[in-house]
Chains A and B, each alone.
Chain A
Amino acid sequence: MSDQNIFDKLQNIDRRVFYWVLFITLMVPFVRPIGLPVKVVQNTRDLYLGITGDNVKPGDIVIMNFGYGVSAWSECAPGFTVCAKALLREGARIVFMGSQYDVELSFNKLKNDAKADFATKEYGVDYVFLGYFTGGESAIAQLATDAWTVYPADHYRTSVSDIPMMQDFHGWQDITLVLSSDTGDVGSYFLRQWQAAHGTKLAEIGIAMNGSTDYPYYLAGNYFGLSIGSRGGAELEVLIGEPGEATTAMDSINASHLLIVLAVIVANVGYLLSRRQA
């Protein structure tokens, strides 16, 4: 009888108590880190293998799409950074672009996080930042046909005809692979207009929710690899051997995930007990 009263009281607790408990639970592991090992799953391993070794040769041109904004930095940026580092170390030439208004901030963060790798590279020769684009699926389709019409100039307003690297990039046939990091639809535009239409190799470094919808495409071979959320970012950091933001965040993720599962279990135990009593 008294156990059910406790569960009844828990059912009616003010939601703000939950919010405070959650917020504090998220902070504690940063102060007292634990550092549990992160196991790498096959889809992340395939992504990493697909951008390293024999799969990418020096001079290959790769598109990396910032499909995420500042709100999803903790989810997408770590994995994106690892992939950029890996590609730069393989000698690939990278075209950075993005559909978010704050794409410049994301690019600056990437350059800061991969400072050592960018230090040995020359802008316009080894990498180029084309900046913001809009136009949805039409823009991505047109990028495959004639990239210079979507980007007549880079983010810094240098005409693409004056950028050495861009002389070798006019359309889909010049691109070895595409890595898209998405909170929304741009990855699916690349899937339809690049991978399905021209067979371009494509991988996704997406938010965890996209991991659910994109996994069937990975199984079907449309994506050669898939990094799912911050967990995928932590796995990529394990693969490259450089723990970073995602690995640091895993402790907090551990605590918060444990908390929500406990909350769901407690709520359901209370519910089942009250149903039995009724």
Chain B
Amino acid sequence: MAYPTAILDVIGLWTGWVLMLMIYSYPLYKENVAYRFAEHIFVAIFLAINLVVNFTYLMNTCVTPLLGGNLLMVVPLILGILIYTMLIPEYRWVSRYPIALLVGAGFGLGIRGAIKPSILDAIVSTITAPSAGGMMDWVNFLYIAVGLVSSMLYFLLTYEHTGLLQPPTRIGRLFIMIGLGAYFGNTVLFRFTMLTGRAQFFLQVLKIIPM
């Protein structure tokens, strides 16, 4: 994307740059009016986009088919509107019906879908020994197997982690710590990449680097 030349686009680019600095004035300086200004603008615009986009989707998926002859679509429309009874204290209980449908569908889909990849496939993968490979493959296999079993014991909360349970749960905790450390390392990549994008934008608008 080249540096824009149209006046509105250039104004837009600099507007974004200034708004970015307003937001960053909070960590880089201290909380101030400019930060509050930008923060409120962001939340307002985000909310408006939320409502516009969702309204558009509702029209596409429900209202247009309803007006096209699919009369069954009046049911979810009414149920959806009933959710807003949550705002009226004496009729709040009515909103439980659409929520019940949502929760039921969510649980049913989630539970039936989670069994295979999260439990069965995970266990099969853990206990499947390497068919070929050197010493390191076997070390890794044993590491993962012992690690998973001991980590799962750590989450066994029905019994206190004393006596016979103490050594494996202690080892399990160490495996979890390693996992969390690696997770932290990946989190750093994620957060810094986002910040890198902003640093790049900062320089591009000033034309220090090409766009």
Contacts and interface: CB of A to CB of B under 8 A. Distances in A.
A195 B121 CA distance: 12
B71 to A, nearest CB: 15
17 contacts: A16-B27, A31-B208, A72-B194, A101-B49, A138-B105, A138-B109, A192-B109, A208-B190, A209-B186, A209-B190, A220-B121, A220-B124, A230-B196, A249-B193, A253-B189, A253-B192, A256-B192
Nearest to A153: B60
B196 A252 contact: yes
A197 B200 CA distance: 42
B194 A71 contact: yes
B136 to A, nearest CB: 14
A170 B27 CA distance: 49
B105 A23 contact: no
Interface of B: 1, 24, 27-29, 46, 49-50, 53-54, 56-57, 60-61, 64-65, 102, 105-106, 109-110, 112-114, 116-117, 121-122, 124-125, 179, 182-183, 186-190, 192-197, 199-200, 202-203, 208-209
Nearest to B105: A138
A221 B117 CA distance: 9
Closest 7 CB pairs of A and B: A192-B113, A74-B197, A220-B125, A26-B199, A208-B186, A208-B189, A208-B190
Contacts of B46: 101
Contacts of A221: 121, 125
| Among B46, B109, B124, residue most surrounded by chain A Cβ atoms (within 10 Å) | B109
A149 B61 CA distance: 7
Interface residues on A, range: 35 or more
Contact of A137 (B24, B28, B109, B192): B109
A212 interface: yes
Contacts of B116: 196
Interface string A214-230: 00110111100000111
B117 A208 contact: no
A133 B190 CA distance: 25
Interface of A: 16, 19-20, 22-23, 26-27, 30-31, 71-75, 101-102, 112, 132-134, 136-138, 141, 149-153, 157, 191-193, 195-197, 207-209, 211-213, 216-217, 219-222, 228-231, 248-249, 252-253, 256-257, 260
Contacts of A195: 117
A249 B209 CA distance: 13
A27 to B, nearest CB: 5
Contacts of A137: 106, 109-110, 113
Given A20-B28, A133-B57, A231 B109 contact: no
A114 B53 CA distance: 26
B195 A22 contact: yes
A42 to B, nearest CB: 13
